[in-house]
Amino acid sequence: MNQPIEQALALLAAGELVAIPTETVYGLAADAANPQAVAKIFAAKGRPSDHPLIVHIAGSAQIDDWAIDVPQAARDLAAAFWPGPLTLILKRQPHVPDAVTGGQDTVGLRAPAHPLTHELLVRFGGGLAAPSANKFGHVSPTTAEHVRQEFGAEVPLVLDGGPCLVGVESTIVSLVSDQPMLLRPGGVPREAIEAVLGRPLEHHQKSDTAKIRASGLLDSHYAPRTKLITGSLPQLVETAHRYYEQGQRAGLILFGESPAAIPAAIRVAMPTNPAAYARELYATLRQLDTAGLDLLLLESPPNTPEWLAVNDRLMRAAHVRLPH
């Protein structure tokens, strides 16, 4: 018997919140069939209540509990990538609470791969509505300790599943219209999804934001509290000198080791492998955010397909993006 899982099941049945580990980031979960429980998620996060939540399920066998008119493409993607970091947007079953879907006629479904949460979902049997377990707009948590820092006693139980292995959120694909759409790049590469679909994904454009209302698509998101500036190394060198002369303390987040002489209070060398970079990104931003710095300067990774998800998050996290 797994004590924390028993405790989580009891809390969920009582309409309480439980923070859960997933392979992407930690989630703040409630019983998706219980609107009062789901309302507690929005209250704890400080998130606008018209933003839809992902329903986490144990596996493909439960798709039809939540969705209708499920196209074969959705089943193919679930078979290829679940359990894993892929969220499918489908037409919802009429019983799915408006609190979960933000009143839309669609629902987001994902079967997470973390063994602890997978076991919880199998035992729970239903669906768990869960956004990332951070205050609205803040950096997503990739450890149980991050969740405790965000919520303290507001969340009665944090299931500790260790550090998240993927580190950025799931890829979101909408299969609601005939043209499959990439709404958020994430843990599953776009090319891998296109290979299964046998056709290109249309990448959601910014002008569609109002229509789709996916909060992860808002511009200011995933942000540290300290001012974050992203740019190329030469731009950062110049910027660092300028702030240094004003007596400001900068934290430098470099893409790999860098020989450049840059005045900074703290220097962090990030991995040059995209998966390793993604795994460390949020923890690094959180750590530097508590270091009492005046600004963070981050060297942008290359603008190539394997960096799509990381660059997407950096674009939203940055307060200033130096053009390059």
Binding site for Mg ion (CB under 5 A): 132
What span, in angstroms and rounded, lies between the C-alpha atoms of 202 and 181?
A: 5
Q: Please choose which of ligand TXA, Mg ion, none residue 170 contacts, taking the beta carbon within 5 to 8 angstroms, the exact cut-off set by kind.
A: ligand TXA
| Residue 273 dihedral angles phi and psi, to the nearest 5° | -90, 130
The token pair at 76 is 């193919």
Q: Does 312 sit near ligand TXA (CB under 6 A)? A: no
Q: Does 296 sit near ligand TXA (CB under 6 A)? A: no
Supply the DSSP symbol for 213: -
- Toward ligand TXA, which CB reaches closer, 210 or 261? 210
Rounded to the nearest whole angstrom, what is the least distance from the CB of residue 182 to Mg ion in the complex?
A: 17
The residues near 100 (Cβ < 8 Å, ≥ 6 apart) are 32, 35, 38, 52, 53, 55, 107, 129
- Toward ligand TXA, which CB reaches closer, 172 or 240? 172
Quote the distance between the C-alpha of residue 168 and its chain's center: 5
Rounded to the nearest whole angstrom, what is the least distance from the CB of residue 254 to Mg ion in the complex?
A: 26
Of residues 38-67, which lie at the interface with ligand TXA (CB under 6 A)? 51-54
Q: Does 27 sit near ligand TXA (CB under 6 A)? A: yes
- Could you tell me if 187 and 84 are in contact, meaning their C-beta atoms sit under 8 angstroms apart? yes
Largest CA distance in the chain: 61
- According to DSSP, the residues that pair with 320 across neighbouring strands are 229
- Could you tell me if 131 and 45 are in contact, meaning their C-beta atoms sit under 8 angstroms apart? yes
- Toward Mg ion, which CB reaches closer, 27 or 274? 27
Q: Does 70 sit near ligand TXA (CB under 6 A)? A: no
Binding site for ligand TXA (CB under 6 A): 22, 24-25, 27, 51-54, 85, 87, 89, 101, 104, 106-108, 110, 112, 130-132, 169-170, 172, 183, 212, 214-217
